[in-house]
Amino acid sequence: MAREARTFRAEGIVLRRRNVGEADSIFVVFGPELGKFEGVARGIRKSRSRMRGHLEPLTFSRFLLARGRTLDVFTQAETIRSFPRIGGDLERWAAASYYAQLVDRFTGEDAPHPELFELLFVALEALNDGSDPGSVSRYVEIHMLALAGFELQVDACAACSARLSPEETLLAPGAGGLVCRQCRPGAGVGRLVSVPAIKVLRYAARASLPQFTGLHIPGEVAEELQQALAGVIRYHLDRELPTARLARELSPGSNDPATPGADTL
Amino acid sequence: MATGGTPEAIARLVEQFNRLPGIGPKSAQRLAYHILRVGDEEAEALANAVLEVKRRIRLCSVCCYITEQDPCGYCTDDRRDQSLVCVVEQALDISAIERSGGYNGVYHVLHGVLNPMDGVGPEDLRFRELLARVQGGSVSEVIMATNPSLEGEATAMYAAKLLGPLGVRVTRLARGLPSGADLEYADDVTLLRALEGRQAV
């Protein structure tokens, strides 16, 4: 009779934390092998806790967990890779929180998804290395959609597979991507995207993240892509993620983000 | 009408306890049956304490601390340096700083930290009051005493971004190793900060 081990090892990036009880927290972690899992860390909010720094959100750590009746318990934690520059920059932090929330929303528990882990990891690395948060975000959105099963069809019409003519084209999330003029009436909600934006979408689908962030995207195209992709994600998740809103508000292009409720002051 | 044999009044009390943070259904039941057993006086004292706190306590219009009088004791104390404002996440943090005995300025309570994962954005915190206070001109330094967590750091950076243009000095509590800690268990970020903030012995 095989007896289940009392403890097990795991690795992963901490997605979020929820405080419970006096000094405990529940952590949701996304790992390359286990997928999304959660566990409780006892006494982690006390300043003497040895695990505290290793279980900060957006840290890639190695853990030892003990099987619990309802929740597994973190007993050891050690950082594999931290991303100090993300924590030191408001815009990068907001972007990284957005990716963590996207992963959280697009995945179920205990479903391993190594490619998605890889995407999150390289995205955090890129943010930490100083890449433009806007470009990293667009890349993450496009590939996150694909890995979650909502890949955008951008090379041909998503409805009839016809070739697309080089013109402003409807991006319709319900149809699964760009749709040609003929298919437009039945394609549902969407947004017209310009030719340069379509080119960027196609490039992003093929390129690696470092290649993509090396591409210079003009301001108005970047803005257009941000809105178009936000629309697609809103369509699939049924709402705008709070982190997406904050990331948008804190990006340099937006109007003075630093004044909460400025209109009422 | 009673459901499943449990009198409705008990069920209602269990449900109310169950809403409290950290109280699960079992604990809620235990508390409710405890209330049933105690004397009328004790139960009444509890009920009155709950009502009283809601009736008498409000937020200070200056610093958003919980108080019975507006402005609160800290904001009206002229022995305190009113130009030095220490910004904390929650009212409880003030007791911790007061306990240290090393601070003689005033406070500002944000009532949370930026936490977009849980839907807490800048507009949900008391930044507007802080901004108004600094715009008033009597503040020379704002000390960000939010927790040294990712969210706490982000909140401090947000405050710096918000208040920086007004010319006020915005500082952050130092970060490093807690007293009595083991170096070998320290995480990279903490060690890095501790090295950056080293001081002559």
Q: Are residues A121 and A240 in the same domain?
A: yes
To the nearest whole percent, how much of chain A has pLDDT over 70?
94
Residue range(s) of every CATH 1.10.8.420 domain in chain B: 8-56
What integer pLDDT is reported at residue A259 of this predicted model? 42
Q: Which structure tokens are listed for A146?
A: 């694909």
Alpha carbon of B97: minimum distance to chain A alpha carbons (Å)? 14
Q: What pLDDT is stored for residue A254 in this prediction? A: 55
* Same domain assignment for residues A25 and A153: no
* The CATH fold of domain B8-56: Helicase, Ruva Protein; domain 3 (1.10.8)
Instruction: Decide which of A44, A62, A82 is a domain's last residue.
Output: A82
Which residues does chain A have within 8 Å of residue B194's beta carbon, measured at their own beta carbons? none
Task: Give the CATH number of the domain where residue A45 resides.
Answer: 2.40.50.140
Report chain A's mean pLDDT, rounded to a whole number: 89
Determine whether the interchain pair A94/B154 forms a contact, defined as Cβ–Cβ distance below 8 Å. yes
Q: How high is the pLDDT of residue A4? A: 66
Report helix, strand or coil for B178: coil
Most B CBs within 10 Å, among A30, A47, A70, A245, to test the B interface: A47
Q: Which of chain A's residues have a Cβ under 8 Å away from the Cβ of B190?
A: 53
The answer to whether A84 contacts B22, with C-beta atoms less than 8 Å apart, is: no
**Topology at the third CATH level for domain B72-172:** Dna Topoisomerase Vi A Subunit; Chain: A, domain 2 (3.40.1360)
Of the pLDDT bands very low, low, confident and very high (cuts 50, 70, 90), residue A258 is very low
Percent of chain B scoring above 90 in pLDDT = 70
Domain end: A62, A82, A102, which one? A82
Q: Give the range of the structural domain holding residue A142, as residue numbers without chain letter.
A: 85-250
Decide if B64 contacts B126 (C-beta within 8 A). yes
For an interface test with A, give the residue of B100, B187, B190 to mutate (most A CBs within 10 A). B187
Which residue blocks in chain A are alpha helix, DSSP H? 84-87, 90-106, 114-128, 133-147, 195-206, 209-213, 219-237, 242-250
Q: Which residues of A touch B119 (CB under 8 A)?
A: 242
- Helices A114-128 & A133-147, crossing angle to 10 degrees? 180
Same domain, A69 and A179: no
pLDDT digits (tens, 9 = 90+) for A202-216: 999 999 999 999 999
Q: Which residues, 6 or more positions from B137, have their beta carbon under 8 angstroms from its beta carbon?
A: none
CATH number at residue A120: 1.20.1440.120
Q: Which of A91-105, A199-213, A224-238, B19-33 has the lowest mean pLDDT?
A: B19-33
Cα separation, A246 vs A44, in Å, equals 27
Q: What does the pLDDT read at residue A188?
A: 86
Write out pLDDT tens, residues B16-59: 999 998 788 899 999 999 999 999 999 999 999 999 999 999 99
Residues of chain A with C-beta less than 8 angstroms from the C-beta of B189: 53, 56, 79, 82, 84, 87
Cβ atoms of A7 and A65 closer than 8 Å: yes
Of A82, A116, A147, the last residue of a domain is: A82
Reported as a pLDDT band with limits 50, 70 and 90, residue B72 is very high
> Is the pLDDT reported for residue B125 higher than 80?
yes
Q: How confident is the model at residue B154 (pLDDT cuts 50, 70, 90)?
A: very high
CA distance A53 to chain B (A): 5
Query: Is A185 in contact with A103 (CB distance < 8 Å)?
Result: no
pLDDT digits (tens, 9 = 90+) for A239-252: 889 899 888 888 87
Give the closest-approach CA distance of B117 to chain A in angstroms: 6
Of A87, A247, A260, the CB nearest to B153: A87
**Whole-number pLDDT of residue A53:** 84
Q: Are residues A38 and A106 in the same domain?
A: no
CA dihedral over B138, B141, B144, B145, signed as positive or negative: negative
If one counts the domains in chain A, the total is 2
- Taking only residues 184 to 223 of chain A, the set having a beta carbon closer than 8 angstroms to any beta carbon of chain B reads none
Nearest to A97 among B117, B125, B132 (CB): B117
Q: Are residues A126 and A238 in the same domain?
A: yes
Higher pLDDT, A87 or A198: A198
Q: Is the predicted pLDDT of residue A261 greater than 60, yes or no?
A: no
Q: What is the pLDDT of residue A263?
A: 35
Contacts of A104 in chain B (CB under 8 A): 117
